[in-house]
Structure 1
Amino acid sequence: MTSESRKVNLFVLGAMRAGTTSFMEFIGKHPAIYTSPIKEPHFFTESLPKEIFEALPTNHLKHYFKKEFPKPIHRAHVTAIEEYQKLFKNATNQKYLAEGSVSYLHAPHVASELQHYNPEAKIIIVTRDPLERAVSHYHMNVGLFREKRSFEAALQSEIEAYHKNELPWYSYLNMSFYKATISNYRQHFGDTILVISLEDLVENTEKTSTQVSTFLEICPFETQALPALNKNKRLRFKKVFGVLHYLKLKEILFSIVPSTRKSSVKNIFLSDCENEVKMSTELRKTLLAIFQKEC
């Protein structure tokens, strides 16, 4: 059986901003695991809202598969089964073919789609403290010009939508809800699910990696060092970047930059920022009460 005819049998479903990129890099070093060069292909998510994914020009993926494959890139929306299968064509005798698209955890119908595609697949779900995840998600959106409101205003609006049962799956609140979505995956995959947390990955890396290797029935990981986590970023040149964004030139700029240089170009515009926001005591109490119910 060729690698292109094999089915992906390991899905990492991390909550957005929960350290899934670092975790995928970590497991990708194991000789029994082959990870997709597009870390997040989002193949099983029918529609990706602009709130979590800004589509690149239509020829971007064609150019990638023709000229740059298999150089690693972070995210794309692969929609053709031929392209999805090609992501794993360079696998050899690894036990697992793996990918880790963050939309899979909360997007509607993905659990049933994954079960239909490969009912024998194993699922690893990575969670994070729900409030810290929401704050990090907010910082990311601000840095990407997706969010202009204060954290207080944005979350108050979402709390209203939550009480009306109108909360989008890709919202700050909903992507910090784990109870219902984990239950949904357990209904589809039973015991072939492992749930781990970012906090355990960072604070108890050796113990958590042992859990992962035991779950996957593979030899222990040789290294116990987790790759550096993606930090929140702050724009250095807001006016310049704002003009690029307004004229829709930002996507074109990043589409023509070679995959190996994208990180360097992004670092020109972005610098690390603290993971803090202004939040009233009342809002914090409300959020913690909601998370206690939904997580």
Structure 2
Amino acid sequence: MGCSGCRVRLNFGKALSRVSVFFTMVLIFTYFFYCLTGVCDSAPRTLHGQQQLLHTDYDALDDLGRVFHKLRAPPRLFRAASASASAPSNANRTSSAHAEQVGADESDAIPVSNTFGTKRFPQAIIIGVKKGGTRALLEFLRIHPDVRAVGAEPHFFDRFYDKGLEWYRDLMPRTLDGQITMEKTPSYFVTKEAPGRVCTMNRQTKLIVVVRDPVTRAVSDYTQTLSKNPGLPSFQSLALKNSSAGPIDTAWSAVRIGLYAKHLENWLQFFPLSHFLFVSGERLVSDPAGEMGRVQDFLGLKRVVSDKHFYFNQTKGFPCLKKPEGSSRPRCLGKSKGRPHPLIPTEVLHRLRDFYRPFNQRFYQMSGQDFGWD
């Protein structure tokens, strides 16, 4: 009787052990199944993973790179090739991929992961000029669904060329077939080595130069530097050698940048004039839609950016983008744009205007455009 009871308890214990093993295996199988189907992706990222994400999002380095991100078109899963003959095709590109489009306006397009798409060298570069309106132009262009651009200035062809072309390409956003990759670094226009380096990368690169009255541009340049260094000498003491009695000092960068004809001569040694588009900084303010139409035509893009996107901000003195659907307010460039200029003696401005006049006339002839600065 005693032995019989022991056998019953032993059999019961074995059965219980088997049930426990069975349920344990079920739990393990369920866990692996959920992980393999992606449920585990919702778990919080590690600190290391977050740091990698910050390094990947190149726009986070730019003080204005996210100003208009809600106006950009959302990524798509499939799209037709653009009519632009300059954009090379790649059958492996199946979706858009950069974090710059996160938070874009919703539409019926299918969003995709930012690990898809292809990083390419830019087919078009805004190469100049500083304080001419390059930031506004870039942000206006980024509204276009077929334009993908780096927000910050890479400065590859003037400062970081030794890092190599692969380093440069890795900075670019991912694109679909037909989308144009762009960047802007205004100092390229005045850097002697830049034209040859860009030509080495791609001699078919399209080049956009935003120009502005060189006298006004010099004052704007000085104003920006003064905001960062309040102890800066007066404008006239920097613009003129030997105080007010001397000649114009072309060694000062604020003056030298405005010699557009001399800088263009350097670029024309490597690229034909047909590869350039000269955008008027003044018309970009007075008629942004008109200038954007020219830019879109030059890039072989459909005219998407138009009058409906702009309104003029009287306080800042330049156009802003109308608020996107679902946004509480319009989008304007940051507080660093539209600063009031200091008062410059009229005599100094007249001397600068006389100095620039022959260079302006030469630039009009070279570019085929009269910008009306005289």
SS at match of 1:294: helix
Separation in structure 2 between the aligned mates of residue 36 and residue 28 of structure 1, nearest angstrom: 10
Q: Hey, what does 1:139 align to over in structure 2?
A: 223
Letter of the 1:294 counterpart: F
Structural RMSD (CA):
3.4
The alignment status of 1:181 with 2:263, answered yes or no, reads yes
SS at match of 1:189: coil
SS at match of 2:210: strand
Q: Hey, what does 2:138 align to over in structure 1?
A: 24
Kindly tell me the number of residue pairs found equivalent between the two proteins.
Answer: 226
| Equivalent of 1:121 in 205, 221, 225 | 205
Letter of the 1:140 counterpart: Q
Separation in structure 2 between the aligned mates of residue 15 and residue 228 of structure 1, nearest angstrom: 23
SS at match of 1:285: helix
Shift of 1:196: 1.1
Closer/same/farther in 2, CA of residues 207 and 96 from structure 1, 3 Å limit: same
Question: 5+ unaligned residues in a row in structure 1: which ranges?
Answer: 48-76, 233-265
**Higher relative contact order (CA closer than 8 Å, sequence separation 6+):** 1
SS at match of 1:125: strand
Shift of 1:185: 2.3
Separation in structure 1 between the aligned mates of residue 248 and residue 275 of structure 2, nearest angstrom: 34
SS at match of 1:212: helix
Shift of 1:129: 1.0
Closer/same/farther in 2, CA of residues 148 and 128 from structure 1, 3 Å limit: same
Closer/same/farther in 2, CA of residues 19 and 159 from structure 1, 3 Å limit: farther
Separation in structure 2 between the aligned mates of residue 15 and residue 277 of structure 1, nearest angstrom: 23
SS at match of 1:176: coil
Shift of 1:123: 0.6
Letter of the 1:293 counterpart: P
Shift of 1:122: 0.4
Is the 1:125–1:195 contact (alpha carbons within 8 Å) kept by the matching residues of 2? Answer: yes
Question: 5+ unaligned residues in a row in structure 2: which ranges?
Answer: 1-89, 94-116, 318-333, 361-374
Shift of 1:272: 6.8
Write the deviation string for residues 38-78 of structure 1: whole angstroms up to 9, x where unpaired: 2x11100047xxxxxxxxxxxxxxxxxxxxxxxxxxxxx99
The alignment status of 1:274 with 2:340, answered yes or no, reads yes
Is the 2:147–2:181 contact (alpha carbons within 8 Å) kept by the matching residues of 1? Answer: yes
| Equivalent of 1:15 in 109, 129, 141 | 129
Closer/same/farther in 2, CA of residues 221 and 182 from structure 1, 3 Å limit: farther
**Normalising by the residue count of structure 2, what TM-score does the alignment of the two structures yield?**
0.53
Write the deviation string for residues 214-266 of structure 1: whole angstroms up to 9, x where unpaired: 2111100233345989x79xxxxxxxxxxxxxxxxxxxxxxxxxxxxxxxxx9
Stretches of 4+ aligned residues off by more than 6 angstroms? 162-166
Is the 1:138–1:151 contact (alpha carbons within 8 Å) kept by the matching residues of 2? Answer: yes
Separation in structure 1 between the aligned mates of residue 193 and residue 230 of structure 2, nearest angstrom: 25
The residue correspondences of 1:227-238 to structure 2 (distance < 5 A) are none
The alignment status of 1:209 with 2:209, answered yes or no, reads no
Separation in structure 1 between the aligned mates of residue 213 and residue 248 of structure 2, nearest angstrom: 24
Is the 2:279–2:291 contact (alpha carbons within 8 Å) kept by the matching residues of 1? Answer: yes
Q: Hey, what does 2:254 align to over in structure 1?
A: 172
Closer/same/farther in 2, CA of residues 117 and 192 from structure 1, 3 Å limit: same
The alignment status of 1:289 with 2:372, answered yes or no, reads no
Shift of 1:154: 1.0
| Equivalent of 1:87 in 162, 171, 194 | 171
Of structures 1 and 2, the larger Rg is shown by: 2
Closer/same/farther in 2, CA of residues 18 and 271 from structure 1, 3 Å limit: closer
Shift of 1:198: 0.7
Closer/same/farther in 2, CA of residues 79 and 223 from structure 1, 3 Å limit: farther
